[in-house]
């Protein structure tokens, strides 16, 4: 049993570690426990045999819901639990499920629930999140043959995208960030970048994002001159993944969809401010980070308590320069 991380982006970054488990134990039945959004992300993934949905907002709410879920897991008689989620809850759940081997970082005071603890200190905080997840399994001899963060789609999901968009190169613009407004660049600046890409390179501009970001999508749609395909708040995670995969480029904040783009090897221009651009950068070979060093960064806050200077200082010209550094090879296919 693998307990996945709870954020989409973090879950993408667990994929190399999950694949390492698959490669080391090809005969094992691997079940991933995940919240409903992450469950969609990992549906039909070759690194696991099934995804078990753990929904704390509905049927598994509260202590009783968790106990019921752990009892269901107990009946499954798992041999080993690998905890990519850092919270104590994951340790308690694996313990209550009677899983005899429990691997995970010693975070959140859960050492006593682990049979195979992995120390978590300054070194683990400083490395890329993908490498941190790998460290959990490496600590007990499970090695990755390669560290690619590959995601998967069904042919039917790719076919759905073809029905939605005209022929030609696509840029996905991801202007939200579920974590909070501190991570978000500005709608009118995203609109200006979209206009540039449509005008100079004939790209179709596709807006993506979650239900909480609908207003941001509308603001961009109102500000942009070019035709725009606004999917913000209108897709499932799987459909959003398919829109990301078909694109030649993503322009984005630091967020889950950015990591999904890395999982499909889509070139990325990512705007960073409040978060750490070294530990959560896209885990791919094809990306540019745009940021301005300010004294308070990274603050890791959800909302900026001052004047949002880390984002305000990133200009449209900065982002356009980063985009142009990919051109023209980018239009010939994925880098």
Q: Which of 304, 314, 323, 330 binds ligand SF4 (CB under 6 A)?
A: 304
Residue with tokens 């889509």: 266
> Could you say which residues in the range 127-186 bind ligand SF4, by CB under 6 A?
182
Q: Please report how close the Cβ of residue 275 comes to ligand SF4 at its closest, in angstroms.
A: 8
Site for ligand SF4 contains 90 (CB under 6 A): no
Is 124 within 8 Å of 16 (Cβ atoms)? no
Q: Please report how close the Cβ of residue 113 comes to ligand SF4 at its closest, in angstroms.
A: 34
DSSP string, 169-207: -EEEEE---TT-GGG---HHHHHHHHHHHHHHH-PEEEE
Q: Please report how close the Cβ of residue 300 comes to ligand SF4 at its closest, in angstroms.
A: 8
Site for ligand SF4 contains 309 (CB under 6 A): yes
Nearer to ligand SF4, 111 or 277 (CB): 277
* Residue 249: strand, helix, or coil: strand
> Could you say which residues in the range 268-297 bind ligand SF4, by CB under 6 A?
273-274, 294, 296-297
Nearer to ligand SF4, 101 or 292 (CB): 292
Taking each continuous run of H as one helix and of E as one strand, the counts in the chain are 14, 12
Site for ligand SF4 contains 31 (CB under 6 A): no
Q: Report the C-alpha gap between 40 and 253 in whole angstroms.
A: 22
Determine the Cα angle at 151 with ends 146 and 153, to 5°. 140
* Nearest alpha-carbon partner for 72 in 45, 47, 49, 53: 53
Q: Report the C-alpha gap between 255 and 272 in whole angstroms.
A: 10
Nearer to ligand SF4, 99 or 304 (CB): 304
Site for ligand SF4 contains 301 (CB under 6 A): yes
**Among 31-39, 199-207, 303-311, 323-331, which window interacts with ligand SF4 (CB under 6 A)?**
303-311
Q: Please report how close the Cβ of residue 125 comes to ligand SF4 at its closest, in angstroms.
A: 18
Site for ligand SF4 contains 255 (CB under 6 A): no
* Nearest alpha-carbon partner for 287 in 194, 152, 180, 149: 149
Q: Which spans of this chain sit near ligand SF4 (rule: CB under 6 A)?
A: 182, 273-274, 294, 296-297, 299, 301, 304-306, 308-310
């Amino acid at each position: 049993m693998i307990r996945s991380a709870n954020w989409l982006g973090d879950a993408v970054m667990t994929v190399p570690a999950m694949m390492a488990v698959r490669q080391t134990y090809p005969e094992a039945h691997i079940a991933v426990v995940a919240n409903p959004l992450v469950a969609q992300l990992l549906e039909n993934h070759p690194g696991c045999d099934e995804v078990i949905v753990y929904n704390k907002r509905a049927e598994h709410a509260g202590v009783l819901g968790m106990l019921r879920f752990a009892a269901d897991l107990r009946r499954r008689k798992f041999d080993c639990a690998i905890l990519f989620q850092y919270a104590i809850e994951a340790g308690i759940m694996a313990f209550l499920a009677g899983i005899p081997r429990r691997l995970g970082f010693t975070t959140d005071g859960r050492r006593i629930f682990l049979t195979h603890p992995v120390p978590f200190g300054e070194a683990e905080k400083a490395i890329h999140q993908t490498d941190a997840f790998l460290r959990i399994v490496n600590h007990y001899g499970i090695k990755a043959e390669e560290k690619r963060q590959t995601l998967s789609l069904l042919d039917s999901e790719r076919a759905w995208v073809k029905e939605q968009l005209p022929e030609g190169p696509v840029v996905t613009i991801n202007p939200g960030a579920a974590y909070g407004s501190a991570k978000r660049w500005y709608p009118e600046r995203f609109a200006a970048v979209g206009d540039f890409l449509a005008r100079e390179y004939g790209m179709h501009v596709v807006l993506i994002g979650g239900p909480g970001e609908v207003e941001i999508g509308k603001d961009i749609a109102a500000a942009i001159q070019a035709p725009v395909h606004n999917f913000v708040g209108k897709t499932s995670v799987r459909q959003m993944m398919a829109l990301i995969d078909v694109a030649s480029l993503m322009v984005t904040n630091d967020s889950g969809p950015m990591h999904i783009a890395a999982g499909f090897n889509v070139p990325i221009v990512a705007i960073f401010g409040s978060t750490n651009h070294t530990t959560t950068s896209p885990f791919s070979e094809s990306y540019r980070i745009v940021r301005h060093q300010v004294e308070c960064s990274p603050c890791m806050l959800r909302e900026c308590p001052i004047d949002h200077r880390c984002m305000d200082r990133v200009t449209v010209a900065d982002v356009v320069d980063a985009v142009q550094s990919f051109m023209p090879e980018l239009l010939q296919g994925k880098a």
